[in-house]
Amino acid sequence: MSRFNEYFLMKTEDVIDYVRDKLNIFPDNAQLSCVEIGDGNLNYVFRVEDVETNKSIIVKQAGVTARISDEFKLSPDRNRIETEVLILQGELAPGLVPQVILLDNTMSCCVMEDLRDYTIMRQALISHEVFPKFADHITTFLANTLLLTSDVVMDHKEKKKLVVNYINPELCEISEDLVYTEPFNDINNRNELFEANKSWIIENIYKDDALRLEAAKLKFEFMTNTESLIHGDLHTGSIFINKESTKVIDPEFAFYGPMGYDIGNVIANLIFAWVNADATINDEHKKAEYKDWLEKTIISVIDLFSNKFLDLWKINVNDKLAKENGFDRWYLNRVIQDTAGVAGLELSRRIIGLAKVKDITSIEDINKRVKAERICLSVAKDYIKNRSDFREGNDFIQALNNAERLFK
């Protein structure tokens, strides 16, 4: 009887035995090595490799608590959700997610292809690398996975079945707390403020009543709008990339929610890369070039998504009323407005909240980090409070440039 017929949290030696027990990928006599490579907040990620051939796979296991804190008690069923979503996203956006090899609900494991020829996008952006194809790739992923899982395309009964299948209350609660609530009042005493910015944040964020009101509106939109099957955590740490290809990973936060949540997360994390470049590139010409590429990428993410969304709408929309003249653009405008609001929320929570990003924490100069954080939070307030003003990519960059001018 296999010892993997009952759940337990594996160590590296267990994972080697697991791969031999469950898969026929490696020869019986292969010398296998295993290392834990996960650097995220929730799960355990192992690379298993044949030492002689260098062939490798990834084994990802969900624990019953988050790695970031034992306070977060989680159902390992999120592994099923993640794996099933990866399979579905692979059908909707071919080539833009890793290939799934095995789903094991007993051990809460997913086995998938190893993207060792790729790098995590966040680290690549911190190293100031350029990826000219990213905007095209990510907007194809966003338009296909969001619109094609919505009511305007799907049979309404089938879509409602997916809503039930992908309900994800524990991880949604993390987002509801860390993204929508705590950055604006620290109600659970978990926020971690950079000391040099603490008084500024208290004055400009915690004491902004209008900001909290808009955050409340966005929170209940997130909780009640079962619009599309969203990734739920689409930051640059959830993207593997190289010059020719982009792979979206880690959809364990996936559920049926508002489309703008995924798009807004992408925009916010490109802005983190922008302020990092502003703070860490010393050569003014190189700094200007890199920031310009990021600005053009942000514009392209919004505008390419919009164009692809409308093109897909014409081909795929089935609901009779959704075909009414002008409804497609009304719907899209609403998505882009929500995108702006979510971008503001993500910018706020990564500066103020528990889960930081290296784009900010790796800035060693105190004064430059203060400036970077204040730019992020100032543009965040604009995105959140004035989100109805945002329609095109240039609108997002104009707000960023306005925020930068405040701290020249």
Residues 95 and 134 in one domain: no
Count CB neighbours of 22 within 10 A. Answer: 17
Has residue 395 been placed in a domain? yes
CATH at residue 126:
3.90.1200.10
Residues 133 and 269 in one domain: yes
Give me the domain span that covers residue 229: 119-405
Please count the structural domains in the chain.
2
Residues 235 and 345 in one domain: yes
Q: For residue 78, what are its two tokens?
A: 């999120």
Has residue 1 been placed in a domain? no
Residue that terminates a domain, selected from 113, 132, 158? 113
Residue that terminates a domain, selected from 87, 113, 139? 113
Residues 82 and 156 in one domain: no
For the chain, 408 residues long, give each residue's pLDDT as a single digit of tens.
Answer: 689 999 999 999 999 999 999 999 999 999 999 999 886 667 899 999 999 999 999 999 988 766 556 666 677 678 899 999 999 999 999 999 999 999 999 999 999 999 999 999 999 999 999 999 999 999 999 999 999 999 999 999 999 999 999 999 989 999 999 999 999 988 888 999 999 999 999 999 999 999 999 999 999 999 999 999 999 999 999 999 999 999 999 998 999 999 999 999 999 999 999 999 999 999 999 999 999 999 999 999 999 999 999 999 999 998 999 999 999 999 999 999 999 999 999 999 999 998 999 999 999 999 999 999 999 999 999 999 999 999 999 999 999 999 999 998
Residue that terminates a domain, selected from 113, 137, 154? 113
Residues 45 and 94 in one domain: yes
Residues 98 and 152 in one domain: no
Residues 292 and 386 in one domain: yes
Torsion, Cα 275 276 281 286, to 10 degrees, reads -60
Answer for the pair 242, 134: CB distance below 8 angstroms, yes or no: no
Classify 115 as helix, strand or coil.
Answer: coil
Q: Specify the pTM.
A: 0.93
CA–CA separation, 89 and 26 (whole Å)? 27
